[in-house]
Structure 1
Amino acid sequence: MNAETLDLMLRTELPAARRGNREAFGRIVSACQNTVTAIALAITRDVQASEDIAQEAFLSAWQRLDRLRNSASFLPWLRQITRNLARDWLRAQAQRPLSGEAAEIAIGMAADPSPEPSDRLLRGEAEAAAEDIISALPEDSREVLLLFYREGQRSRQVAALLGLSDEVVRKRLSRARTSVREELVQRFGEFARSTAPSAAFGLALAGALATAVPATATAAVVGSGVLGTGAGKLGMGGLATGGAAGGVAGGSLGLIVQTLTQQPGLLPGIVVGTIAGALVSALTWWYLARFCQTPREAGQIRRFMRLSAVTGALLLLCLMLAVVFGNAWVAVTVAVVGLAVANYQHLVVLRRIMEPILAHPANASRRGEYGYVMGAKSAWLGTAIALAAIVFALYRQGRF
């Protein structure tokens, strides 16, 4: 896969991966697994550790795709995740005391710095080859040479995967060849090819992905964020922002919190959105109930709020489906249509119910207050806030 094909693949597959498509992310893994394991192996010089680190790096990327602004940033970001994990592994190994067989081997090697082949077999052929062959190479050439042999000895492909120029790759390859014996370079080539991740690596990672929660895929967090719609808008919204739109604004607060804090998964948006929506719903009900003078009027308000609940639940469902199966513009369109329906209920249906209630002499002093809190200006302000919150979060998640 050349650089142009790789770039096209990432631009095609990443949007689907953000929406939770594991097959799309699996194709990205297949294209990048040699790179990630080579980086990890160059740092750790341990074959098994390099594959464990690579799997952890891919899982971390899957769960934090919402931090990615564009496809061109994916490979540099993934390489940095891998290097950080590999260095953490090295630090952990340095602080871990040796025990058992590992301690005996270390003591024996300290006593005899040139162990016999039989002693080396105790450490395992692959482990010894990794440590000895990689250590013999210049540090800045290890990733390049590993990937060069794993990618069919194509320097341009190595350059694209590591974010280097072809000239730099060729220089590092040349430096590695001149710094060690030809025999060692040949051994290294065989070692690099033999330790490349197999089909088992992909299968193991696929199993791990099946139980991992993708952050952006579940960019249905947009839908969950507006669980304020499913709770707050149900009560026709926030007092300060007006009507039904206020409920969506309350739910969108959860979405903004999830986006700004870059917390993976649906939970932050759901929790914050639901709490905000429930508070908004309670406040709205409390506010409208203060105007009711008879049980009949209170019953009308309750029926209206049930209607609002159905509208809010439908909007929530449609918005979540739009985010998961559509694109950003579909989600925005659904939000606009849903808010228009909700505002019609607020500005037309609720107004008809409230007019005779507000006509009571007991409510004379509060009519102006009601118009300010629940009037058209307040409702449209809430609509603007809700839409701005949704567009902002979609933009931060790279959906536009």
Structure 2
Amino acid sequence: MPVSDADLVAAARRGRDLAFEQLAVRHSPALRSFLRGVCRDHAIADDMAQDALIRAWQRLDQLKEASAFKSWLFGIGWRLASEERRAAGRRLRRETDWSGVQKQARPDGVAPEEAMALEDAMAALTADQRACIALCLAGSWSHAEAAAALDMPVGTIKSHIKRGRAKLLAALGDET
């Protein structure tokens, strides 16, 4: 039976570094993927994920509900991404230009043209919409989990998903 996040958090709070390392190994791939989708620059996203893990370790005593570690960690990552976006808006826009975007892996059966069209359509969304779509539609998170991670009301999450999905469908030519 796998050890729960709550058990690992409790052990980490008691000074067991290995417990926090297990939390990091468990959640860092999804955190990196989420942040890559939000900020669209892999190097910056990877740095933010690392920073989020360091902040989580340093502030583990501030986590109110040990079982909510994942959404708390993603919330830290989201706030780091938001800070980066505000602090480096011009640089971020320049770096997300198509010429600077690294080719991303695409699922089997997706043509390169379709992947590029989806990237372009996602880039046209606001960062909040991209984050909500990445978590709820692509990541299968519940609205409540996304709301906790992004520190937004559930209704706002739903609005961002509805508007973002509509923009994506329009950009990709789906009239349904």
Q: For the superposition of Structure 1 and Structure 2, which TM-score range results when normalised by the shorter chain?
A: 0.5 to 0.7
| Cα distance in 2, alignment partners of residues 34 and 147 from structure 1 | 13
Please give the per-residue CA displacement for 1:301-322, whole angstroms capped at 9, x wherever unaligned. Answer: xxxxxxxxxxxxxxxxxxxxxx
**Structure 1 equivalent of residue 24 of structure 2:** 29
Q: 1:160 aligns with which of 145, 150, 164?
A: 145
Which residue, 4, 8, 18 being the options, matches 1:9?
4
1:175 counterpart residue number: 163
Verify: 1:143 aligned to 2:131, yes or no. yes
Structure 2 length as normaliser, TM-score? 0.60
Count residues with an aligned counterpart.
156
Q: Any idea what SS the aligned residue of 1:180 has?
A: helix
The verdict on how the C-alpha distance between 1:185 and 1:135 changes in structure 2, with shifts beyond 3 A counting, is farther
CA distance in 1, matches of 2:155, 2:86: 33
Is contact 2:135-2:141 (8 Å) kept?
no
Number of the residue aligned with 1:322: none
| Backbone CA RMSD of aligned residues | 4.3
Q: Is residue 62 of structure 2 the alignment partner of residue 85 of structure 1?
A: no
Identity, % of aligned pairs? 26
Question: How far does residue 80 in structure 1 lie from its aligned partner after superposition?
Answer: 3.8
Structure with the higher helix share, 1 or 2: 1
CA contact (8 A) 2:31 2:77 kept: yes
- Alignment partners' CA distance in 2, 1:64 and 1:30: 18
The offset of 1:58, in angstroms, is 0.5
Structure-1 residue corresponding to 2:51: 56
Q: Using the alignment, how far apart are the partners of 1:171 and 1:38 within structure 2?
A: 23
Alignment of 1:274-285 (within 5 A): none
Q: 1:64 to 1:184 in 2, by over 3 A?
A: same
Q: Could you tell me whether the CA contact under 8 Å between 1:43 and 1:87 is conserved in 2?
A: no
1:40 lines up with 2:25 in the alignment: no
CA distance in 1, matches of 2:173, 2:146: 22
Q: Give CA-to-partner distance per residue, 1:262-296, whole Å, 9 cap, x none.
A: xxxxxxxxxxxxxxxxxxxxxxxxxxxxxxxxxxx
CA distance in structure 1 between the partners assigned to 2:154 and 2:103 by the alignment: 30
Aligned-partner residue type, residue 100 of structure 2? R
Q: Deviations over 1:162-202 (max 9, x none)?
A: 4389887666444322222377499xxxxxxxxxxxxxxxx
Structure 1, residues 48-88: CA drift from partner, whole Å, max 9, x if none?
Answer: 21121011100121122233344156445434422332233
> What is the rounded CA distance, in whole Å, between the counterparts of 1:49 and 1:22 in structure 2?
26
TM-score (norm 1): 0.31
Structure 1 residues 183-222: aligned runs within 5 Å: 184=172
User: 1:193-342 alignment to 2 at 5 Å?
Assistant: none
Structure with bigger RCO (C-alpha 8 Å, 6+ apart): 2
Aligned to 2:122: 134
Are positions 1:123 and 2:100 aligned together? yes
Structure 2 letter corresponding to 1:60:
R
Q: By how many angstroms is 1:14 displaced?
A: 0.5
Rg larger for = 1
When residues 40 and 124 of structure 1 are mapped into structure 2, their CA distance, relative to the original with a 3 A threshold, is closer
SS of equivalent to 2:51: helix
